[in-house]
């Protein structure tokens, strides 16, 4: 029997790389997508900027020519922003929505027939920020909230086509992600956070169980309840943390 195929966007660093290694160690052929091919080998790299329509076509062409379908698509490539709404230039706002929302939605649409062939699974990487408003990260939160709602509403739409959808909401995991974010502000130093390899193991286990949603680390579930229970305190704490 041929090995299952996983296509992972943003597989060259951070969470994407950790998931690529995990799925590979579990017997998958991993196809990684990123703009700049890194120095290490994967089963197949596709150099593509997923925000460009012509590059999305390059991905579809490679899959059509080289594989008979996709078992797992992980929409992971994304970036953060650390700026107030007032500080955010229009270009950056459009840029972050392009990468975190429009690109994975449009790419998924093009790859759906390949997932259908294999009765595959789409794993959408949102963020706990998609369920939690954070000042100075408003634009990022908005992209990830939109992406979570896209992911959850896509699930019932394609269930009859035997394609599953899992929404993943990671909390802070140190990958160097902050240093690549848009905006000039620095996020406050807060304790805690997750580990990329443990995250990847949790994603794989949740995928195997056919879960609809994963929040990692689990205690972010409680943090996400705070604005609903203590909205004033939550906002005051954030004003203090972000020195607003």
Strands 29-34 and 5-9: parallel
Complex with ligand NAP: residue 94 or 236, whichever CB lies closer: 94
Rounded-to-integer distance, Cα 186 and Cα 201, Å: 29
Q: Is 77 in the site for ligand NAP (CB under 6 A)?
A: yes
Using CB under 6 A, count the residues that bind ligand NAP: 27
Of the residues 30, 59, 83, 173, which one makes contact with ligand NAP according to CB under 6 A = 173
The torsion angles phi and psi of 57, rounded to 5 degrees, stand at -65, -35
Residues near 151 by Cβ (< 8 Å), separated by ≥ 6?
Answer: 122, 124, 126, 165, 167
118 part of the active site: no
Q: Which stretch binds ligand NAP (CB under 6 A): 108-116, 169-177, 200-208, 236-244?
A: 169-177
Contact 158, 145 (CB under 8 A): no
Cβ at position 74, least distance to ligand NAP in Å: 10
Cβ at position 2, least distance to ligand NAP in Å: 26
**Helix, strand, coil tally for the chain in percent (to 5):** 50, 15, 35
Find the helix or strand (DSSP H, E) in which 34 lies.
strand 29-34
Q: Is 20 in the site for ligand NAP (CB under 6 A)?
A: no
Complex with ligand NAP: residue 12 or 151, whichever CB lies closer: 12
Residue 187: CB atoms within 10 A of its CB come to 17
147 part of the active site: no
Q: Is 10 in the site for ligand NAP (CB under 6 A)?
A: yes
Q: Is 50 in the site for ligand NAP (CB under 6 A)?
A: yes
Helical segments of 85-195, H only? 90-97, 103-118, 138-158
Q: Is 145 in the site for ligand NAP (CB under 6 A)?
A: no
12 part of the active site: yes
126 part of the active site: yes
In sequence order, the β-bridge partners of residue 182 are 81
Q: Say which of 81, 82, 127, 144 is annotated catalytic.
A: 144
Cβ at position 62, least distance to ligand NAP in Å: 14
- DSSP three-state, residue 29: strand
Q: Is 36 in the site for ligand NAP (CB under 6 A)?
A: yes
Q: Which residues bind ligand NAP (CB under 6 A)?
A: 9-10, 12-16, 33-36, 49-51, 76-78, 99, 125, 127, 170, 172-173, 175-177, 180
Which residues does the annotation mark as catalytic?
12, 126, 140, 144
């Amino acid at each position: 029997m041929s090995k299952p195929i996983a296509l992972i966007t943003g597989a060259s660093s951070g969470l994407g790389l950790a998931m690529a290694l995990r799925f590979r160690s579990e017997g998958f052929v991993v196809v990684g997508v990123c703009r700049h091919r890194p120095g290490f080998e994967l089963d197949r790299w596709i150099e593509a900027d997923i925000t460009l329509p012509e590059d999305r076509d390059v991905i579809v062409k490679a899959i059509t020519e080289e594989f008979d379908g996709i078992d797992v698509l992980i929409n992971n490539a994304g970036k953060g922003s650390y700026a107030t709404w007032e500080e955010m230039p229009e270009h950056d706002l459009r840029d972050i929505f392009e990468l975190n929302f429009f690109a994975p939605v449009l790419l998924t649409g093009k790859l759906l027939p390949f997932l259908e062939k294999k009765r595959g699974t789409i794993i959408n990487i949102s963020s706990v920020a998609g369920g939690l408003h954070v000042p100075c990260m408003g634009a990022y939160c908005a992209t990830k909230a939109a992406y979570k709602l896209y992911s959850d509403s896509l699930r019932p739409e394609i269930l009859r086509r035997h394609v599953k959808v899992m929404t993943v909401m990671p909390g802070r995991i140190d990958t160097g992600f902050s240093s690549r974010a848009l905006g000039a502000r620095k996020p406050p130093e807060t304790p805690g956070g997750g580990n990329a390899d443990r995250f990847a193991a949790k994603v794989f286990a949740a995928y195997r169980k056919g879960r609809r949603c994963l929040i990692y680390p689990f205690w972010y579930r409680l943090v996400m309840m705070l604005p609903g229970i203590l909205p004033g305190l939550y906002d005051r704490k954030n004003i203090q943390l972000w020195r607003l």
